């Protein structure tokens, strides 16, 4: 399955950033605090990898809530404020192997791009906490607020290709820890779309999206690239 790749697009939380599923625990708490009954597992299965307001909306739809879009807008504003506060004190660290994999890819001349369902402000705050600098450890970060449509639409990958001057999606590898990451890679017609079990969803769930491969550690990614 080894392929020639010139750019890898990595998801952030759960793939390259270890924040112990803080965002989904907080999403769950925001919904429960508003009086709705649901589990963290439901939030993870429905919301993982998505732009966060869309994740809230989809959970509310699953719960059969009336006027989910209106309620999601209000809950999203609450969630954003709480996440900002939580991330200030939260332990946010690179996922095991992330920095060494970035370095090895860049040594091979392969572009390293992060993309995320977070908005730009949250993503750049995380980069500061991790001491990851665009132009150093990574080449770019593309967020849900940079595009018209977030995952599973391919817009973020297309924007990354445009910024890195790559015209052939077959030379792009997309990796993430959720079904919508895999769907995003497939919708962009990436040469390889890979699931990883370090975050929101396990191998059984990831397999439902029919990825080209599923790995358990970022180091295994290097085995897929020529």
The tens digit of pLDDT for each residue in 11-23 reads: 999 999 998 889 9
**Cβ–Cβ contacts within 10 Å for residue 129, how many?**
16
Residue 100 near residue 62, CB atoms below 8 Å: no
Burial bucket for residue 12 (CB in 10 Å: 0-12, 13-18, 19+): buried
Q: Does 128 map to a domain?
A: yes
Q: Is the dihedral of CA 119, 139, 173, 18 positive or negative?
A: negative
Residue 155 shares a structural domain with residue 217: yes
pLDDT of amino acid 91: 87
Residue 55 shares a structural domain with residue 100: no
**pLDDT tens per residue, range 114-134:** 999 999 999 999 999 999 999
Last residue of a domain, one of 89, 105, 131: 89
Q: Does 129 map to a domain?
A: yes
Q: Does 143 map to a domain?
A: yes
Last residue of a domain, one of 89, 105, 134: 89
**pLDDT tens per residue, range 141-183:** 999 999 999 999 999 999 999 999 999 999 999 999 999 999 9
pLDDT of amino acid 52: 94
The count of structural domains within the chain is 2
- Of 24, 13, 191, the closest CA to residue 213 belongs to 191
pTM for the full predicted model: 0.92
Last residue of a domain, one of 42, 63, 89: 89
Residue 153 shares a structural domain with residue 219: yes
**Residue 79 domain boundaries:** 22-89
C-alpha distances in Å from residue 164, one per residue of 130, 140, 141: 23, 8, 11
pLDDT of amino acid 2: 85
**Kind of pairing, strands 93-94 and 17-18?**
antiparallel
- Report the alpha-carbon distance of residue 98 to residue 8 in Å, rounded: 12
Q: Does 2 map to a domain?
A: no
- Report the alpha-carbon distance of residue 16 to residue 5 in Å, rounded: 19
pLDDT of amino acid 179: 96
């Amino acid at each position: 399955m080894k392929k020639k790749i010139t750019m890898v697009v990595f998801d952030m939380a759960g793939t390259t950033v270890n924040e112990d599923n803080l965002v989904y625990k907080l999403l769950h708490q925001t919904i429960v605090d508003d009086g709705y009954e649901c589990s963290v597992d439901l939030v993870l299965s429905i919301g993982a990898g998505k732009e966060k307001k869309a994740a809230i909306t989809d959970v509310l739809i699953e719960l059969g809530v009336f006027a989910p879009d209106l309620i999601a807008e209000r809950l999203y504003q609450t969630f954003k404020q709480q996440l900002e506060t939580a991330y200030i004190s939260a332990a946010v660290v690179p996922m095991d192997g992330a920095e060494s994999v970035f370095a090895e890819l860049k040594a091979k001349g392969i572009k390293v791009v992060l993309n995320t369902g977070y908005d730009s402000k949250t993503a750049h705050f995380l980069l500061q906490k991790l001491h990851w600098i665009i132009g150093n450890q990574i080449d770019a970060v593309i967020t849900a607020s940079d595009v018209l449509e977030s995952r599973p639409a391919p817009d973020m990958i297309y924007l990354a290709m445009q910024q890195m001057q790559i015209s052939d999606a077959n030379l792009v590898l997309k990796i993430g820890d959720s079904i919508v990451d895999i769907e995003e890679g497939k919708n962009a017609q990436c040469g390889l779309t890979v699931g990883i079990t370090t975050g929101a969803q396990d191998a059984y769930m990831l397999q439902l999206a029919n990825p080209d491969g599923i790995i358990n550690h970022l180091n295994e990614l290097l085995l897929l690239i020529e």
